[in-house]
Amino acid sequence: MKKYILSSIIASAVLITSCGGDKTSVQEIAESGDIKAIRAKKKELSTLNHNLLADIEVLDEAIRKISGDRNLPLITTLSASEEQFMHFVELQGDIATKKNVLIYPEMSGVLYRVYVTEGQRVKKGQLLASIDDGGMSSQLIQLKTQLELAKTTFERQKRLWDQNVGTEIQFLQAKSNYESQEKAVEQLTSQLAKFKITAPFAGIIDDVIKDQGTVVAPSGPGSEVFRIINLSNMYVEVAVPENYISSINVGTEVEVYIPVLDKKLKSKVRQTGNFINPQNRSFTVEVPVQNADEQIKPNMTAVVKINDYSNEKSILIPQSIISENAEGKQYVFMAYEVDDKNIGLAKRQIVETGKTQGDIVEVTSGIKVGDQLINEGARNVKQGQKVKIING
């Protein structure tokens, strides 16, 4: 058979060469003006050329069968294995602190003295400023003097009463007078305490809003005296879409990134809201952040990645090797029946996928551990096609 093919090709080649080489006769026919002769010669040469090309194709097929993989598609594969998969939902939030408050006076009057400056650290209960009490301190001194007298009178009257000396009414009057003076001192002391402004918690005086000598009042616009901030207890407040309400709970792991500081932190959800905002269908989540160096400030923007799904044993594949057929089903190509020369067959496998993280997709069905998935070259193979694996 091979001898016949070879002989046929040689004969055809010789014939074409002789015809093609006889340039004078072809030229003469072309210049003769005889259209029938020209067409006849063209048909003859076309037939010879077609037969020669067909014979060459037969030889090419024989070469492919003998050499095996010379013209096979080259691919790489990856082996399906179980891995831990953690899916994160990425959202944006604002940094806040519950200890960022404006301090108002409790009483009206002239700001008698300011004891702190902006940027100063203060302790809880530390005196920040005092307001002119309008002479109430002097009244307190007088009341305390009267209290001492009432106390002495009561103690003496009690000793006499214990000795059955004096009347009961004298003892009761002394006791009543002493208790009345004691309550008056307590009330005035409590009243005077309102003329002093103290720190509600330890923190930093961020702003001294009113100057010494300014008239202040406990209410009304612009009545703030100080702003105090504590930067040690910061958190990110995030609005999370309601469809994540069952997958995000207290203790859920979170990655926090603060772009302006180029700072990444790991944390956990501290609190989840129980109210769905009807305007954007979201609930609020609080994520605490450590701020030992106090670089993080209130109202900074933070990007948070909240772990809404985890699976310790997932089969993960690159999204780039997944295709979709006309029915909308997803599929990948697998290499099977691989021989010792790394030559195998391509097989189309329908798969079902879960969540996606970046370019990685979780496969929920269709692939098992150990399957050889076609990676590079996956878009260029067909069902049942022979392929050459060139891993490494």
259-275 tens-digit pLDDT: 999 999 999 999 999 99
Domain 74-85+312-389, CATH: 2.40.420.20
CA distance 99 to 346: 64
Q: Parse the chain into domains and list their residue ranges.
A: 2-67, 74-85+312-389, 90-98+229-310, 101-228
In this predicted structure, the answer to whether residue 5 has a pLDDT above a threshold of 50 is no
Q: Say what the pLDDT of residue 57 is.
A: 67
pLDDT for 86 beyond 70: yes
The label of the residue with tokens 């004078």 reads 24
Mean pLDDT of 93-100: 93
14 — pLDDT class (breaks 50, 70, 90): very low
CA separation for the pair 107, 96 (Å, rounded): 30
Element (H, E) at 129: strand 127-131
pLDDT at 195: 93
309, pLDDT greater than 80: yes
At 55 the pLDDT is 80
Q: Answer whether residue 352 shows pLDDT above 90.
A: yes
pLDDT of residue 392: 63
CB 147 within 8 A of CB 182: yes
> Is 115 in contact with 122 (CB distance < 8 Å)?
no
Q: Give the span between the Cα atoms of 146 and 97, in whole angstroms.
A: 48
Does residue 66 carry a pLDDT above 70? no
At residue 216 the predicted structure's pLDDT band, cuts being 50, 70 and 90, is very high
Task: Tell me: pLDDT of 53 over 80.
Answer: no
Mean per-residue pLDDT of the chain? 87
pLDDT in the model for residue 221: 80
pLDDT band per the 50, 70, 90 thresholds, residue 37? confident
- Whole-angstrom CA distances from 287 to 53, 249, 256, 282 are 74, 11, 9, 16
- Each residue of 354-371: pLDDT tens digit? 999 889 999 999 999 999
Calpha distance 143→135 (Å, rounded): 13
Q: Are the C-beta atoms of 227 and 102 separated by less than 8 Å?
A: yes
383 within 8 A of 346, measured Cβ to Cβ: yes
Q: What percent of the chain has pLDDT over 90?
A: 63
The phi and psi torsions of 313 (rounded to 5 degrees) equal: -130, 85
DSSP 21-72: H-HHHHHHHHHH--HHHHHHHHHHHHHHHHHHHHHHHHHHHHHHHHHSSTTS
Residue 34 has pLDDT above 90, yes or no: no
Residue 211: pLDDT above 50?
Answer: yes
d(CA 359, CA 318): 6
Mean pLDDT of 104-126: 94
Residue bearing the bigger pLDDT, 343 or 7: 343
User: Rounded mean pLDDT of 278-301?
Assistant: 94
Instruction: Please determine, for residue 71, whether its predicted confidence score (pLDDT) is greater than 60.
Output: yes
The CATH topology of domain 90-98+229-310 is: Elongation Factor Tu (Ef-tu); domain 3 (2.40.30)
Greater confidence (22 vs 344) lies with 344
Distance CA 170, CA 154 (A): 9
Average pLDDT over residues 296-314: 93
Please determine whether the domains at 74-85+312-389 and 90-98+229-310 fall in the same fold group of CATH.
no
Q: CA 123, 127, 130: angle at the middle one, nearest 5?
A: 160
Alpha-carbon distance values, 389 to 36, 73, 143, 240 (Å): 57, 9, 101, 46
Q: At what angle do helices 168-193 and 136-162 cross, to 10 degrees?
A: 150
Instruction: Choose between 166 and 97: higher pLDDT.
Output: 97
Read off the pLDDT of residues 217-241 as tens digits, 9 standing for 90 and up: 998 788 999 999 999 889 999 999 9
| Confidence at residue 62, expressed as pLDDT on a 0 to 100 scale | 65
Q: How confident is the model at residue 188 (pLDDT cuts 50, 70, 90)?
A: very high
User: Is 8's pLDDT higher than 70?
Assistant: no
Kindly give the residue spans of alpha helices, DSSP state H, lying in the chain: 2-21, 23-32, 35-67, 136-162, 168-193
CATH architecture of the domain with range 101-228: Beta Barrel (2.40)
User: Is residue 58 scored above 90 in pLDDT?
Assistant: no
End-to-end CA distance of the chain: 41
Closest C-alpha among 273, 203, 208 to residue 245: 273
Residue 213: which region, alpha, beta or left (left: phi > 0; alpha: psi -120 to 50)?
A: left
